[in-house]
Homo-oligomer: A and B are copies of this chain.
């Protein structure tokens, strides 16, 4: 393949199809062609909010399942023809950051995020994966290629929220935001043993899906202050953990007001604007209340894909309710992306199966 076609950010506010030279496959790398694709709200941020600054002819997308078409000479565990899961985050595994357990920041803050950021993304007929042995995972038998796309970002990001929150048996958890990541934070909390789970969001269909994934209480922020609503429901008892998969820099204030001493506020929401996250001093115990505030990008890499895919294989998690809109041609990824931009009431995620 000398050249290939892909859906790109042409510049601020503009997308379009472009033709590019095929990437080179280094000794540790792989080239893949997509089997299924899904746009992400981050793609929308990138193009229409300039989240990464202005970019020209950058192919978009970081959620895909794929088939390997070429591997480098040092790749041991994958070969052309293999069907694979691709994580959105593909770290440099030799980096000191990866050795410390923070591979998503290999080489610098958030630098494990390469697709549609520091190189072309997966919305092309062909795309490049660095360190294939460390960043691909074999697609297990029994996982549908569309479902597999949810393992790229939605499942690991939502579940990372539950992991950062260290959800334990019987915890009462609040999940703010019930887009696909928030829904996976609900599912991930339940799969770590949460008891009561409050899901905060306004869209009807998402509320239903939140209940499907185990939310016990739905809180609509349009119907009043969420702190008041939740503490009324608990008779004033603080919750154990809050996972932020929506809201903005001001939502932390509410989160701190909800959580008990020794509790955790964990964020997996991209905070696009605002100078400061503000932690209310009194509710934070004058600095001495043992309320941990932490936020992080999902961990990428093969291990995470392999373990999360086990949950699909063994029926612990069904991601199909996330896939509300389905397309079947490569070119449809454009319509799918625009759909993600103009979120309709019943949209969770569109997926394009090739």
Contacts and interface: CB of A to CB of B under 8 A. Distances in A.
Count of identical protomers in the assembly: 4
Interface in A281-333: 281, 284-297, 301-304, 306-311, 313-314, 316
A190 interface: yes
A139 to B, nearest CB: 15
A28 interface: yes
A304 B101 CA distance: 12
Contacts of A101: 101, 262
B96 A306 contact: yes
Size class of the A contact interface (CB-based, 8 Å): 35 or more
Given A170-B309, A279-B277, A290-B297, A285 B96 contact: no
Contacts of A50: none
Contacts of A307: 168-171, 195
B287 A271 contact: yes
A159 interface: yes
Contact of A278 (B96, B268, B276, B294): B276
Contacts of A253: 276
Nearest to A304: B99
A41 interface: no
A10 to B, nearest CB: 24
Contact of A192 (B97, B135, B192, B295): B192
A280 B275 contact: yes
Contact of A170 (B110, B134, B308): B308
B190 A316 contact: yes
B195 A110 contact: no
B269 A287 contact: yes
A27 to B, nearest CB: 5
Given A169-B307, A279-B276, A262 B93 contact: no
A290 B295 contact: yes
A120 interface: no
Nearest to A106: B261
Given A170-B308, A289-B109, A192 B193 contact: yes
Given A133-B94, A290-B295, A271 B281 contact: yes
Contacts of A97: 261-262
Given A307-B169, A307-B170, A311-B195, A288 B281 contact: no
16 contacts: A27-B27, A93-B93, A94-B133, A96-B306, A97-B261, A105-B261, A169-B191, A170-B306, A192-B193, A195-B310, A195-B313, A196-B314, A276-B279, A279-B279, A288-B296, A293-B294
Task: Name the 6 nearest CB pairs between A and B, nearest first.
Answer: A195-B310, A170-B307, A94-B134, A99-B303, A170-B310, A105-B261
Interface of A: 26-28, 74, 93-105, 109-110, 131, 133-135, 159, 163, 168-172, 188, 190-197, 214, 216, 244, 249, 253, 261-262, 267-272, 274-281, 284-297, 301-304, 306-311, 313-314, 316
